[in-house]
Structure 1
Amino acid sequence: MTVKAVVFDIGNVLIEWQPERFFDQAIGVDRRQAFFDAIDLHGMNDRVDRGETFRDVIDETIGTHPDWADELTMWHDRWINMAGPAIDHSVRLLRALRRAGHPVFALSNFGIQTFDIGLREYPFLEEFDKRYISGHMGVIKPDSAIYEMAEQDCGIAPAGLLFADDRHDNITAAAARGWQTHLFEGSEGWAARLVAEGLLTPETAQ
């Protein structure tokens, strides 16, 4: 089926998301490894992405892991330093698709407060035709419900949606609903897919 809209994940597709890299630099590799071993930080982040208040989740986690209070406070206060830099070629592809007249959506696991922080740092996040942000939806990928909610809102049949995400589980869940999918492993491959689908030319995909 012809692609009717292109759907971008945000983290590691449009903006690098590398908490380990940030903490390696901030506190050193050994302490970072101990920090990540001591606390399920990705699980903590999932709570925020489901819509819990960022500050409340951090404060609760500090309460149960007081020895890591400084690092957890850093996770909150320096969150934007983990989310970056922008993947410039992917941003160019987003804009090229819109210039070509193709609807472009975001479907991303992102907290309510953290997305607001991201908007201030990365204004291009305002440029989507539609945004499906998990914190506002109360459900995260790869739960099939988030894909169904996006389908119902945009009114496009699943086969008309082309979705790029860097995680296999998120792609698999979308494909199970009939979406066209692309496993993002770099912007060059994504650009080639958009050209192959006839959505961009080799020149506009640069």
Structure 2
Amino acid sequence: MKTRCRWVHDLPEDDLMVAYHDQEFGQPVHNNQKLFELLTLELFQSGLSWRTVLNKRANFQAAFADFDVDQVATFDDQDRDRLLADAGIIRNRMKIDATINNAKVIKALAESGTSFADLVWELTDGETVTVGAGPAEKVPAQNQLSQDFSKKLKKAGFKFVGPVTMESFLEAVGVQNAHDLDCDFR
């Protein structure tokens, strides 16, 4: 039996959260579209459970053009209304507007010669930083890296990218290895 992070260790092997943990969480991501997807999912997760977002992931993919940055950057008021009426996703105007805005920022960065992946990985010089906690330790909701990254994204024009949300994002995309110290996937 595998030892997993405490947030999934009591769940059945076929649980969606376990599959996410084992196959995605903390794996280094350098693909701009995948990074945009995870950024979007993390900002929609803010204030909710990750399970809620994972259960709606396919709906988010359909609603946001499979997270194609160029397409989402062109979303207009009609698209916003469509998204607000879509019961398959989390219907929060601020989060929808932030996602459209973030796609526009990523597109503008690309047009200026900077990829979103470059921006995500430059604070650690492209390397994964090891963080994490032991079984009896509390996992911090944010750290200096997520605070610095949040400030950097806000300065670039991103929305809904506070340090707690960015902590989760950096862990999800493998910039930080945040698997528990005793996790076999560390």
TM-score scaled by length of structure 2: 0.31
The structure that is strand-richer by fraction is 1
Greater C-alpha radius of gyration: 1
TM-score by length of structure 1 reads 0.29
